Structure 1
């Protein structure tokens, strides 16, 4: 059975395992106040020389999103997100559970625009204190559909956030593939545009770790208090910092993402040649195909993948490449896709 279900279903890159073996014979301070977390934060800061950020490490995406939003917003404030955004669709109401409404904005290829943000904000100003107050814009990069924001789109979103006095948060669970998709910006630019964002390790070769980067000085105080109260402060915090040393010390973070994208592009191009419709043309390590019921039945007995959606009588399936994916597996998948197309 080929595994293309997700990018977090395997262990981690060898560099992290080596560090874990070394650390297993050492002793550390707890709660992220250790030399590994300090060194990892310095490595991450070095990628953003123009902006001084506070770096904190948390174990997973949903907990990271909830902790950031809970820290930033006041009780009556809300967050705007694409209707396909992770906080709106895949977090079991985690944001609402801590008292903050998620205001969904219609997506365009998984993204939201400055114009759509302004429209939703203005609609909430009509009733003013009789509605929640939109105070934060949440975007995913790469998006849940594998698309990536352009420099122009991000600059426009930053501009409207400045105009309307909104915070901008970027969910970077798949930031590695986004940065290696051929765009013309870096972490250094993202730190200038976003008030807060996080760098995803869990879906890019780590065992399970996200690095929160707080750029807005006004949001830096007391974040660790919220982490602790929210169950986001790991006693063995060194386990998280260590993983980001493995990812950034020799730029494995970027190398992994580049290779994931290349393998996904190979799958997508082969699928197009074979005549499979794309649900969405992806720029990163996610591939969305539309298959008929016979193709679906053939593939599901040979490949582990996610059902993403239904399209009339057809099924939208998602393939994901990871640090663990090999070219041989991609080639076998191509064979299975061809055989599925040949079913009478």
Structure 2
């Protein structure tokens, strides 16, 4: 019997509507390399959704690829990017950004979120041409810890970056979960689009087989980014595969529906664990939660469930990461809550 997985939000394949759309259009001939009708439809949908009629939008297969492409394209050779020490580009991308010749200037942050003071400290430290020049701020919404920038926090970062001539780039691998999270102070997709220079909409972690939609909030002055995509091996001949998926996700609100489900499952899971009197390493705001459990309980749970042990908290306890997805069934959430409650007694 296989384990119930709470390891990530991309273990399953794709939502049935996406598989159906791919199947139904399978034998319809189309232009290659993203010039097909489906990619054009998806671009138009995203422009409307973000209220960005002049946005440039490109589809690529994965998040690391997206970050490498965008950051290396927007920065000059001597320029660097500022990120939280926990940021994906610093921890989980095998030095992809550095491999393009750009330094990642990191700041330790307790909740994975940068502040204007954090950024100012980096700018103050880099004084002259003997050091790299910080020219971009990289943030994630939601963060690696499942936390969120509030509307106020994102607005402050945006204003600071614009005042200091910095580009603001947002990693949206889990932007669906972010914009559908509970709370009135979470910025919407349109608000995010108005506050950053570039971002991407993650499909891989929200019901697609694969794919991310890169959004430059204003038109590129030339086609240079297309050359970057091709040169780095990111241009799919069958670009239609990505366009069909994003068109399906943004047709009839499916993108938001799937993310809302993932968040709802996480909220139920978080409430059930809290009811067992366990605490959390970080606030539970999206579809990633980090309960702190006794190591003996973690060992028992690992025989039935898949998850990451995130970090040691004490000699006898650790934080684990549990992730819910668009496909997480309520009975799986009920099962692990029952197991935690049962093992506790």
Match of 1:319 in 2: 322
What residue is the counterpart of 1:212 in the other structure? 214
Superposition deviation, residue 281 in structure 1? 1.4
Compare 200-209 and 215-224 and name the one that shifted more.
Answer: 215-224
Match of 1:175 in 2: 175
The superposition leaves residues 255-305 of structure 1 with CA deviations (integer Å, 9 ceiling, x where unpaired) of 111111111011111111102221111210001011222111100001111
* 1:290 corresponding residue in structure 2: 292
In the other structure, the counterpart of 1:65 is: 67
Displacement of 1:221: 4.0
Distance 1:300 1:211 in 2: 35
Asked if 1:338 corresponds to 2:341, the answer is yes
- Compute the displacement of 1:51 (Å): 5.2
CA distance in 1, matches of 2:33, 2:41: 15
Match of 1:47 among 46, 49, 59: 49
Residue 129 of structure 2 aligns to a residue in which SS?
Answer: helix
Give the whole-Å Cα distance in 2 for the aligned partners of 1:115 and 1:266: 35
Q: Distance in 1 between matches of 2:136 and 2:129?
A: 17
Q: Which residue of structure 1 lines up, in the alignment, with residue 107 of structure 2?
A: 105
**Partners of 2:236 and 2:57 in 1: how far apart?**
15
What residue number does 1:16 align with? 18
Alpha-carbon separation, structure 1, partners of 2:219 and 2:40: 19
Instruction: State the number of aligned residues.
Output: 340
Distance 1:152 1:195 in 2: 17
SS at match of 2:50: coil
Give the superposition deviation at 1:218. Answer: 5.2
Distance 2:343 2:98 in 1: 42
Against the structure 1 CA distance between its residues 219 and 194, is the aligned structure 2 distance closer, same or farther, given a 3 Å change threshold? Answer: farther
Deviation sequence 1:140-198 (CA, Å, 0-9, x none): 00011111111110111011111110000000000001001134432222121111000
Q: Deviations over 1:215-262 (max 9, x none)?
A: 144576411111111111111111001110111011111011111111
Note if contact 2:198-2:217 (Cα within 8 Å) is conserved in structure 1: yes
Q: What TM-score results when the alignment is normalised by the length of structure 1?
A: 0.96
- Counterpart for residue 261 of structure 1: 263
Aligned CA distance change for structure 1 residues 331 and 227 (closer, same or farther; 3 Å): same
Measured in 1, the distance between the counterparts of 2:131 and 2:8 equals 38
C-alpha contact (below 8 Å) 2:307/2:321 kept by paired residues: yes
Matched residue SS, 1:310? strand
Deviates more, 1:132-141 or 1:330-339: 330-339
Aligned partners of 2:338 and 2:28: how far apart in 1? 48
After alignment, is 112-121 or 180-189 more displaced? 180-189
* Partner residue in 2 for 1:231: 233
Which segments of structure 1 move beyond 3 Å, counting only runs of 4 or more? 216-221
Q: Secondary structure at the match of 2:126?
A: helix
Give the whole-Å Cα distance in 2 for the aligned partners of 1:38 and 1:244: 10
Distance 2:223 2:312 in 1: 45
Distance 1:105 1:216, change over 3 A: farther
1:194 corresponds, among 184, 188, 196, to 196
Distance 1:293 1:208, change over 3 A: same
Choose the corresponding residue for 1:307, options 288, 306, 309.
309
Q: Deviations over 1:86-140 (max 9, x none)?
A: 0011111110011111110121311011121112111112xx1111100000000
2:276 match = 274
Structure 1 residue 45 displacement after superposition: 0.6
Distance 1:51 1:163, change over 3 A: farther
User: 1:195·1:215 contact (CA, 8 Å) conserved in 2?
Assistant: yes
Structure 2: 5+ residue stretches without partners: none
Quote the residue 1:130 is aligned against.
130
2:250 to 248, 251, 258: 248
Structure 1 unaligned spans of 5+: none
Tell me the secondary structure at the aligned position of residue 278 of structure 1: coil
Q: Counterparts of 2:71 and 2:78 in 1: how far apart (Å)?
A: 12
